[in-house]
């Protein structure tokens, strides 16, 4: 995931681990050789339009809106199709009310059309005060949550306890693809244990003994910090 840094001079760009106390709790029980947090990439203001979300100081909100307004007005002056003019005028009204496009309640058709414009406020924008920058771990966790992302955990044979990032609402099949395309192609079932059940049972063995492990199919909607073991076929073998 890429996070665009807008008008914040004191953040180090590049890749950052997002520490998660919940993964720490799981790892204490699993005692894996390796622990891997979710990693995000912080990119410069120039690359903000390529990012999945924007982190900006609170007083930069107006700047983002003005940038989008300038684009909309230019586009509107050149638009020929009536359908596009209607959409552009709708976007202009939203921005003039100092609202963001991202949470303006556009229809699926409108969202698809707007995605081609490359607007700053068509992304989740997380506004912060300067004092919040002192705790980057908490801030990045907030960005993930408010941008509509969740994590799921895997524990591979005690070798690695790992957090993976997906969008809220994605399925077990989509989550499998995040781990590896071969797992997604050969998907059979997902063994799921809820985080609280895993912790209260003292780990995977206890969760199985207590009947807390569920077998879910491709269309299961993943929940935040589900613990997952994917069953899949690979090279004519079930792994």
Task: Dump pLDDT digits (tens) for 29-61.
Answer: 999 999 999 999 999 999 999 999 999 999 999
Mean pLDDT calculated for residue range 142-163: 93
Residue 238: band (very low, low, confident or very high) from pLDDT cuts 50, 70, 90: very low
Mean pLDDT calculated for residue range 64-91: 95
CB atoms within 10 A of CB 150: 19
pLDDT for res 156: 83
pLDDT for res 18: 96
CB neighbour burial string for 37-61, b if at least 16 within 10 angstroms, e if fewer: bbebebbebeebbebbbbbbbeebb
Which one, of 179, 186, 103, lies nearest residue 146 by Cα? 103
Helix ranges (DSSP H) in the chain: 21-30, 61-78, 82-96, 108-114, 136-146, 172-179, 181-185, 195-200, 204-209
CB neighbour burial string for 130-149, b if at least 16 within 10 angstroms, e if fewer: eebeeeeeebbbebbeebeb
In this chain, the answer to whether the domains covering 2-128 and 169-238 adopt an identical fold is no
pLDDT for res 35: 96
pLDDT digits (tens, 9 = 90+) for 69-82: 999 999 999 999 99
> Is pLDDT at 239 greater than 80 in this prediction?
no
> Is pLDDT at 9 greater than 90 in this prediction?
no
Distance CA 143, CA 54 (A): 8
**Which contacts of 194-198 are long-range, i.e. CB under 8 A and separated by 24 or more positions?**
194/223, 194/226, 194/227, 195/22, 195/26, 195/153, 195/224, 195/225, 195/226, 195/227, 198/26, 198/29, 198/227
- Three-class SS state of 172: helix
- Three-class SS state of 186: coil
User: Where exactly are the structural domains of the chain?
Assistant: 2-128, 169-238
CATH superfamily of 169-238: Beta-grasp domain (3.10.20.30)
pLDDT for res 183: 94
Q: How many residues does the chain have?
A: 239
Cβ-contact 42, 17 below 8 angstroms: no
Which one, of 20, 1, 18, lies nearest residue 136 by Cα? 18
How high is the mean pLDDT of the chain? 93
SS (H, E, C) 30-83: HCCCEEECEEEEEECHHHHHHCCEEEEEHHHHHHHHHHHHHHHHHHHHHCCCHH
Mean pLDDT calculated for residue range 208-225: 97
pLDDT for res 235: 53
| Half-sphere exposure for 129 (CA within 13 Å, toward CB) | 2
Residue 1: band (very low, low, confident or very high) from pLDDT cuts 50, 70, 90: very high
Distance CA 132, CA 139 (A): 7
> Is pLDDT at 236 greater than 70 in this prediction?
no
Cβ-contact 34, 161 below 8 angstroms: yes
Question: What's the CATH number of domain 2-128, 1.10.150.120, 3.30.43.10, 3.40.50.720, 1.10.150.300?
Answer: 1.10.150.300
pLDDT digits (tens, 9 = 90+) for 154-209: 998 789 999 999 999 999 999 999 999 999 999 999 999 999 999 999 999 999 99
Mean pLDDT calculated for residue range 85-101: 95
Cβ-contact 178, 209 below 8 angstroms: no
């Amino acid at each position: 995931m890429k996070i665009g840094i807008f008008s914040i001079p004191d953040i180090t760009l590049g890749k950052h681990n997002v520490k998660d106390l919940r993964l720490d709790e799981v790892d204490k029980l699993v005692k894996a050789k390796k622990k891997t947090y979710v990693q995000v990439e912080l990119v410069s203001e120039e690359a903000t339009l390529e990012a999945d979300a924007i982190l900006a100081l609170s007083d930069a909100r107006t700047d983002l809106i003005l940038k989008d307004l300038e684009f909309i007005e230019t586009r509107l002056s050149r638009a020929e199709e009536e359908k596009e003019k209607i959409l552009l005028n709708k976007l202009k009204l939203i921005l003039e009310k100092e609202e963001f496009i991202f949470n303006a309640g556009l229809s699926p058709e409108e969202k698809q059309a707007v995605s081609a414009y490359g607007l700053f406020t068509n992304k989740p924008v997380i506004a912060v005060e300067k004092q919040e920058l002192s705790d980057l771990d908490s801030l990045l966790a907030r960005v993930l949550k408010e941008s509509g992302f969740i994590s799921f955990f895997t524990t591979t044979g005690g070798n690695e306890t790992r957090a993976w990032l997906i969008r809220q609402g994605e399925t077990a099949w989509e989550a499998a693809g995040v781990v590896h395309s071969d797992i997604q192609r050969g998907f059979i079932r997902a063994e799921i244990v809820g985080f609280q059940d895993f912790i209260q049972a003292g780990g995977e063995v206890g969760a199985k003994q207590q009947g807390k492990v569920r077998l879910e199919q491709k269309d299961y909607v993943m929940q935040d910090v589900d613990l997952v073991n994917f069953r899949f076929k690979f090279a004519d073998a079930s792994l």
